[in-house]
Structure 1
Amino acid sequence: KWNYDGSSTGQAPGEDSEVILYPQAIFKDPFRRGNNILVMCDCYTPAGEPIPTNKRYNAAKIFSSPEVAAEEPWYGIEQEYTLLQKDTNWPLGWPIGGFPGPQGPYYCGIGAEKSFGRDIVDAHYKACLYAGINISGINGEVMPGQWEFQVGPSVGISSGDQVWVARYILERITEIAGVVVTFDPKPIPGDWNGAGAHTNYSTESMRKEGGYEVIKAAIEKLKLRHREHIAAYGEGNERRLTGRHETADINTFSWGVANRGASVRVGRETEQNGKGY
């Protein structure tokens, strides 16, 4: 274990400033290389209690419980983000004080007039592979200057660890490039897509024959906790989840097959096969 000054980060008072770090996962360091590593830690008080921002503690207890471990939950997380020009906080590739052409040609687009920042995106992808993160893809998103990377399939809490370290690596790379990365849900108001973190999920029971019925039962349970879950998903989602731009309305839970405007989208193949994957 190690410790740091929590008073400098707003995580502890000055008169009792030590926050204790416990290592939880290690990754190869893509910046220093050689024998260097990146260490994913979570944070505790000197008395051994998790600090309020340590959400990993309870997650680890849940994922390590026998009934959850037996289901081997798989996650594939799609992390969207926006690259901004450092001096203006305006999206990369946008004219200063102006706007690009309307959305349509940018999603998975190529070419200097449609794709802005691919050198950063590719560097991040390669760095994650070197680190040992199970990064499975990248693509340009609907709004120009917006991108996405995918982590997974990963099992249980390792998925969260890998996404957090992938975000860290992305921040380091954009720092080197002199570009700002933001995970804000709606960095540009108006007729522009926001940025989220879509979560693909399945359990052993969902992947077996008859798994579609298990999936539908799980969706009904999610419906009952919709407001509670929305409150835990981070700040600013009310600006993004408007029912427009491929989102569901923040106040209304919905699900559907192949419906990108629903809270939960079930793949067409899942419905046809009667089970998940």
Structure 2
Amino acid sequence: MAQILAPSVQWQMRITKNSSYLTDASSMSSKMWSSLFRKQSKKLTARSSAKYRLLAVKSEHGTINRMEDLLNLDVTPYTDKIIAEYIWIGGTGIDVRSKSRTISKPVEHPSELPKWNYDGSSTGQAPGEDSEVILYPQAIFKDPFRGGNNILVICDAYTPAGEPIPTNKRHKAAQIFSDPKVVAEVPWYGIEQEYTLLQTDVKWPLGWPVGGYPGPQGPYYCAAGADKSFGRDISDAHYKACLYAGINISGTNGEVMPGQWEFQVGPSVGIEAGDHIWCARYLLERITEQAGVVLTLDPKPIEGDWNGAGCHTNYSTKSTREEGGFEVIKKAILNLSLRHKEHISAYGEGNERRLTGKHETASINTFSWGVANRGCSIRVGRDTEKEGKGYLEDRRPASNMDPYVVTALLAETTLLWEPTLEAEALAAQKLAMKV
């Protein structure tokens, strides 16, 4: 698409009267267009205050798609330099920010990249009188938008003195995952990221009638069809972008509420799980930006009899994956029950609107677990019960949770934290009664 400047109202009327010019625009030469606009510009010379707007005209010939050609241009044969997109988490704890810089040659490891800085006062992360925040490169992914050797760089943020800023949740997570006890257990995570697509101007779910509602839930989950599936191209584009980037994406599906989707990342080990989810979220933000659709990770985007959006986190350790692992899982669940409030407080903003005990959730105030029960806080699969080993699913995290926080907290509670004997005995009694 090329953008051609034309005066607004009067010029539109003239084009309408002479619509034959537009009916076969693709066959017009660039000289014909130039001649047409020269004639019109003479008539409009005296109208220096005329308002202009952009019109788009398709053409298979000439110079129409120059911007698209430049965006797709592969510069690899002409320079060793690459573009690195530095990505970090902003002041809300859920917004992703990024900016680009040129690197002299391709790199293979974050340690080869320089630290950088940004204006923290513009992201809600530093005061104006001392606004410099330093970016530390931590993980590299291939850039599906620019292609070639260009990269996406997941960073965390520090003060100039080298202290992690308050919104840097990766730093503490890295400390937990480097603990020898945690390293020895090789924690695996499989994260199910749900999200909702909204229409741009009205902020109403994609596919829903503006100001109205579709039919009740039921036909939409994993569905096909123009009246049941809304946003599949975005989901598919995101899937391929993740595979290209090197993100360990394992699947996608349409969700229960129309206009809502899910992708899964994992199994990932330790800190890698958070890096991959944050990069996948960034890709999704960029793809919905290009599609003119709004992405929301709100855990309950539509009130009423509609499913919310979660980020279910599947978790296992070396001990739970080996023979006798089911008993280790039960001990982990016991620990999780004793720290239920700590986990809930770290599992996402607005989660109380989602965890109501309805729509495949447990109550936010009550801890529970069960086999194959999606209405529990912690679900254990039938296969895990049958084989006596495997993983557990924490169904409490909201769609807007920080994956660094959730993954690290699960490891800390189940591998590093030890309850008192009295508390352990009491919790075991309560859980036995519920089961």
> TM-score, with normalisation over the residues of structure 2?
0.63
Q: In structure 2, what is the equivalent of residue 258 of structure 1?
A: 372
Per-residue CA deviations over 1:99-135 (Å, capped at 9, x if unaligned) read 0010001000011110000000000000000000000
Question: Is 1:22 matched up with 2:140?
Answer: no
Q: In structure 1, what is the equivalent of residue 359 of structure 2?
A: 245
Question: Is 1:174 matched up with 2:174?
Answer: no
Per-residue CA deviations over 1:52-109 (Å, capped at 9, x if unaligned) read 0001001001101111111110000000000000010000000011100100010000
Instruction: Give the C-alpha shift of residue 219 in structure 1.
Output: 0.4
Q: Match of 1:112, SS?
A: coil
Instruction: Give the C-alpha shift of residue 209 in structure 1.
Output: 0.2
Q: How far, CA to CA, are the matches of 1:107 and 1:27 in structure 2?
A: 31
Question: Is 1:4 matched up with 2:118?
Answer: yes
Q: How far, CA to CA, are the matches of 1:108 and 1:36 in structure 2?
A: 34
Q: How far, CA to CA, are the matches of 2:247 and 2:130 in structure 1?
A: 35
Q: In structure 1, what is the equivalent of residue 277 of structure 2?
A: 163
Computed over aligned residues only, the root mean square deviation of the Cα atoms, in angstroms, reads 0.6
Identical amino acids, percent of aligned pairs: 83
Instruction: Give the C-alpha shift of residue 234 in structure 1.
Output: 1.4
Q: 1:90 aligns with which of 199, 204, 211?
A: 204
Q: In structure 1, what is the equivalent of residue 239 of structure 2?
A: 125
Q: Spell out the pairing of 1:104-253 with structure 2 (5 A cutoff).
A: 104-253=218-367
Q: How far, CA to CA, are the matches of 2:301 and 2:329 in structure 1?
A: 33
> Which amino acid letter does the alignment assign opposite residue 138 of structure 1?
T
Per-residue CA deviations over 1:226-276 (Å, capped at 9, x if unaligned) read 011100111100000000000000000000000000000000110111111
Q: Match of 2:247, SS?
A: coil
Q: Which has the higher contact order (CA 8 A, sep 6+)?
A: 1
Q: Match of 1:12, SS?
A: coil
Q: Match of 1:186, SS?
A: coil
Larger radius of gyration: 2
Q: How far, CA to CA, are the matches of 2:161 and 2:335 in structure 1?
A: 36
Question: Is 1:41 matched up with 2:120?
Answer: no
Stretches of structure 1 that go unaligned for 5 or more consecutive residues are none
Q: How far, CA to CA, are the matches of 1:20 and 1:225 in structure 2?
A: 34
Per-residue CA deviations over 1:159-179 (Å, capped at 9, x if unaligned) read 110000000000000000000
Instruction: Give the C-alpha shift of residue 35 in structure 1.
Output: 1.1
Q: How far, CA to CA, are the matches of 2:341 and 2:311 in structure 1?
A: 18
Q: How far, CA to CA, are the matches of 1:161 and 1:237 in structure 2?
A: 23
Instruction: Give the C-alpha shift of residue 207 in structure 1.
Output: 0.3
Q: In structure 2, what is the equivalent of residue 72 of structure 1?
A: 186
Q: How far, CA to CA, are the matches of 2:276 and 2:180 in structure 1?
A: 22
> TM-score, with normalisation over the residues of structure 1?
0.99
Q: How far, CA to CA, are the matches of 2:337 and 2:161 in structure 1?
A: 38
> Which amino acid letter does the alignment assign opposite residue 136 of structure 1?
S
Per-residue CA deviations over 1:14-45 (Å, capped at 9, x if unaligned) read 11110010000000001011110000000001
Q: Match of 2:133, SS?
A: strand
Stretches of structure 2 that go unaligned for 5 or more consecutive residues are 1-114, 392-435
